[in-house]
Amino acid sequence: MAGRYVSAPTGGALLVAGTTSDAGKSVLTAGLCRWLARRGIRVAPFKAQNMSNNSVVTPDGGEIGRAQAMQAAAAGLSPAVRFNPVLLKPGSDHRSQIVLHGKVVGEVDAASYRSGRAELAEAVQTGLAELRAEFDVVICEGAGSPAEINLRAGDLANMGLAVAGRLPVIVVSDIDRGGVFAHLYGTLALLDAADQSLIAGFVINKFRGDRGLLEPGLRTLTDLTGRPVYGVLPWSDGLWLDAEDSLSTAADGVLGRPAPPVGESWLRVAVPRLPRMSNPTDLDALACEPGVAVRFVEEPSRLADADLVVLPGSKSTVADLDWLRRTGLAEAVRRHAAAGRPVFGVCGGFQMLARSIDDRVESRRGTVPGLGLLDVAVTFEATKILRTPTGRALGEPVAGYEIHHGRVTRRAAGLAPLVERVRPVGGAGGVGAAAGAATVCGGFDGDHGEGAVSWPVAGTHWHGIFENDAFRRVFLRRVADQAGRPGFRVAADTAFGAAREQQLDLLADLVDAHLDTDALLRLIEHGAPAGLPLLAPGAGA
């Protein structure tokens, strides 16, 4: 779009907003970061405030949303706290743990969040200014929808951020959900004049079919709003890793796009879809393996033909354990293990396998019985463990990350750890040292975080353990043997890190092929055009 522009105050920036959650903000932000990085532009991602239980530990020991770690990788950067200064982790429908600059600072409900908003706003605006001073371009991701007008007064991540930083905004919408033109027009029209002045245009996501059939609608949308559609991104079956929202999982519960088996048999993995499930992306690496079908389940009959049950992480271990019991899944998991078929728990799922859980931190329920499939005791403490350990498991080198309040305070004599952890000689940190300066240990800082194994049941606090290719292959072979699947063969060449890089490159290819990148570069450099039309009712606000 030609015309006079409102210049940005410092380095170039853009805010990617969305008409709904899971509209495509995270993947478009990542695609833009990778596309710019491939052009030699120093680019960084930024999400002012994320509400998600899917998080990672940064190299400096902080905690951020996993989507921002993925976007950092797209930009060729290590994950860092500054890319996501505020993280809210919902523990119930009314309260969330608040993580500021990577560290837990307490819990908030709606009222206490409003009272602490000024401090959060300062952290967000300072963080963005510092990134803009350091990088050529900062691609910001919004949260939810910018048209949540009931929350506009305290908004930190959408138009509040855009107005404070004079950020041009593009709005992306998922056409696969239907109503895309109403979503885009209505989102713009509900905003007040100052907010509308920064909305520069639109992107349509997940289009299938004949582009020619869409063209009349695109022209009408531009005529009605005075804003261009910067492009239409096609549906791609190849994009599913690191999905931020559980809605991204297919309707039948199958994760990803399972490839045909190498051998004669499939391996079927069932994952209870816990109400407060955290880090479901731990399962992505399993789903990348040919012949492995990973399915999220919500009732016990779906465990009947499973070869492996994985209990995933949880932000509310005790409450989600109650849900397992109410749905009958807890008893189904016990029967599965009693039949000699494997069960594996990750973080909160590992804690559920314990004989007892003493939780005076998250649920404040005190001591409750676990599933009793591993003879360990778990005690929750106020201080959250955040670390990136290394070690060996099933004879193979492994790395992962830990995010948990629960500690394994008792492990039965003779119950083996899943992981032999490596730590620096003389140190107490969780990050593995360089070769030649480390020691292998079974315990760690008084917490048996490396887990426990008593086949067919095992578990660990380590997220990301399945991303270790050699370990994953040995683990799947053992699962197949334990489950009686002699016809299953593990592929010898599946490399999860390479698969993630391929997806990031695919995102950049889609941006390059289907968006007006010249127009987006002008927008990033100069800001939103001046004099954009105002739509009612926002025009009268």
* CB 444, CB 430: distance < 8 Å: yes
Residue 336 among the catalytic residues: no
Sheet with 419-424, side-by-side order of all strands: 396-399, 390-393, 419-424, 438-441
C-alpha distances out from residue 442 to 427, 471, 502, 519, Å: 15, 18, 36, 56
* CB 18, CB 24: distance < 8 Å: yes
Measured N-to-C along each axis, helices 211-225 and 180-189 cross at an angle, to the nearest 10 degrees, of 10
Structure token digits, residue 232 = 């239409």
Structure token digits, residue 212 = 């020619």
Q: Is the peptide bond before 537 cis (omega within 30 degrees of 0)?
A: yes
Structure token digits, residue 112 = 């206490």
Nearest to 479 by CA among 498, 495, 466, 463: 466
Structure token digits, residue 131 = 């990134």
Q: Name the burial class of residue 491, with classes exposed (0-12), middle (13-18) and buried (19+) by CB atoms within 10 angstroms of its CB.
A: middle
Can you point out the beta strands (E) in 79-125? 86-90, 96-100, 103-108
Give residue 64's identity as a one-letter amino acid code. I
Residue 463 among the catalytic residues: yes
Q: Which residues of 362-386 are buried (b: 16+ CB within 10 A; e: fewer)?
A: bbeeeeeebbebbbbbbbbbeebbb
Q: Coil, strand, or helix at residue 441?
A: strand
DSSP state of 371: -
Q: Coil, strand, or helix at residue 131?
A: helix
Nearest to 9 by CA among 526, 519, 518, 532: 526
Question: What are the backbone dihedrals phi and psi of residue 245, each rounded to the nearest 5 degrees, phi first?
Answer: -115, 135
* CB 300, CB 335: distance < 8 Å: no
CA atoms of 480 and 268, how far apart (whole Å): 10
Nearest to 403 by CA among 102, 144, 119, 195: 102
166: left (phi over 0), alpha (psi -120 to 50) or beta: left
Question: What are the backbone dihedrals phi and psi of residue 490, each rounded to the nearest 5 degrees, phi first?
Answer: -85, 135
C-alpha distances out from residue 71 to 65, 285, 397, 407, Å: 10, 18, 26, 31
Residues in the chain: 541
Nearest to 461 by CA among 358, 538, 378: 378
CA atoms of 24 and 170, how far apart (whole Å): 12
Q: Coil, strand, or helix at residue 269?
A: strand
Of 347, 448, 461, 514, the catalytic one is 347
Of 336, 461, 463, 514, the catalytic one is 463
Residues known to be catalytic: 347, 463
